[in-house]
Amino acid sequence: MTARIIGTGAALPPVYDQARLWDDFFAEHLGGGRAAERIFTGAGVRHRHSVIEPAELATIATMSTGERMRLYTELAPPLGHQAVAAALADAGLTADDIGLLAVASCTGYGTPGLDIALAASLPLRPEARRLLVGHMGCHAALPALASVTDYVIAQQRPAVLLCLELTTIHLQPEPRDIEQIVTHALFGDAATALVLRPDDGAGPGLRVLDVVARSDTARSDQMTWDVTDLGFRMGLSTEVPDALREHVGPLVKDLLNRHGLDISEVGGWAVHPGGPRILDAVEDGLGLDPAALAASRTVLAEHGNCSSATVLLVLRAILDSAVPPGPIVAIAFGPGLTLYAALLELST
């Protein structure tokens, strides 16, 4: 028994040109200079989405964490509602059909929170369950998918997974170190959603076959997401690509071996685009042809890194590309240092 993904949805704030963002704000904010400009323009991002207009970025950078959380509480629910409603429409279901709403987010908190706001706005049935997966970072979509799959199998009820991140509300005040320049060059905002139902072996969709994880706690300092008085601050070591290159091959090979599959049989790779060097490391670690990660590179270019929401944007792009039926592997990375991989099977 397993679960099947039968609907996807996304909601994206206004889009902004990366070069224009540099000229209008980040050139001054990041101290200018050719080195900062090279890092910013070399991030592999052409456009990204933001709930914050460029003219307001300077104000955001001075906000306290409490002010930023109030902003999240205001801006997140409409975006989440739009993504979930789109996924339900794609699945041909209504909110009344849903037994569980799981929300993954690491960029904002409050109680009553986003899950409760959506329970009211959709609206969910009063007995519907809610699950919040918080502060796991960029890889949260896949452990959340595993939990939602377990629910769907055990309860034989449809469920929704929403990944929503507003990274731009955590703009840091005048960061001048390389880590922060890279962070501000990469991250954007997005909401993505999936609808899952019990798999009856019939009809189109993505069967969730397996989810695996690997954590290298000796490298836990290489990727961090710290709560400070001025929002949340990203720590991203230059050593992360090397760590992922070391671990991704064994992780994926173990996953595929459990199902009698080889890397050559995978028809689609939904890899979280943490940055160009991250994608290069995965490509090397798995021995993939450059074309295999085209969807990930396109999502990075057109949306930036939207934390947990991003791998689902890549998955949607793969499905829209008319990938043939068969195995698809999704991979995401986050603090821990943690890697997650999911084996999916597309049927039409």
Token digits of residue 317: 């792009």
Summarised one tens digit per residue, pLDDT across range 205-222 is: 899 999 999 999 999 999
> Domain 205-347 class?
alpha beta
The gap from C-alpha 209 to its chain's centroid, in whole angstroms, comes to: 20
User: Is residue 73 scored above 90 in pLDDT?
Assistant: yes
Considering the chain, what is the average pLDDT of its residues?
95
User: Is residue 175 scored above 70 in pLDDT?
Assistant: no
Token digits of residue 137: 């970072």
Give the least confident one: 3-12, 138-147, 203-212, 304-313.
203-212
For 109, phi then psi, to 5°, come to -145, 155
Give the least confident one: 172-176, 235-239, 240-244.
172-176
Summarised one tens digit per residue, pLDDT across range 250-263 is: 999 999 999 999 99
Q: Hey, what CATH topology would domain 3-198 get?
A: Peroxisomal Thiolase; Chain A, domain 1 (3.40.47)
Taking the domains of the chain in order of start, what are their residue ranges?
Answer: 3-198, 205-347
Count CA atoms within 13 Å of residue 302 on its CB side: 10
- 163 in catalytic set: no
Q: For 162-182, give one letter per residue: b (16+ CB within 10 A) or e.
A: bbbbbbbbbbbeebeeeebbb
Summarised one tens digit per residue, pLDDT across range 42-65 is: 999 999 999 999 999 999 999 999
* Between 264 and 30, residue with greater pLDDT: 264
Q: How far is CA 107 from CA 66, 80, 89, 185, in A?
A: 12, 13, 27, 17
Fold match flag (3-198 vs 205-347): yes
Q: Provide DSSP, 79-108.
A: HHHHHHHHHHHHHT--GGG-SEEEEEESS-
Judge contact between 152 and 196, C-beta under 8 A.
Answer: yes
Instruction: Determine the pLDDT at residue 55.
Output: 93
Instruction: Determine the pLDDT at residue 348.
Output: 78
Instruction: Determine the pLDDT at residue 176.
Output: 67
Instruction: Determine the pLDDT at residue 179.
Output: 83
User: Is residue 272 scored above 70 in pLDDT?
Assistant: yes
Name the active-site residue from 106, 138, 163, 306: 138
Instruction: Determine the pLDDT at residue 300.
Output: 98
Summarised one tens digit per residue, pLDDT across range 286-301 is: 999 989 999 999 999 9
Record the pTM: 0.96
Rounded to whole angstroms, how far apart are CA atoms 334 and 309? 13
Give residue 202's pLDDT band: very low, low, confident or very high (50, 70, 90).
Answer: confident
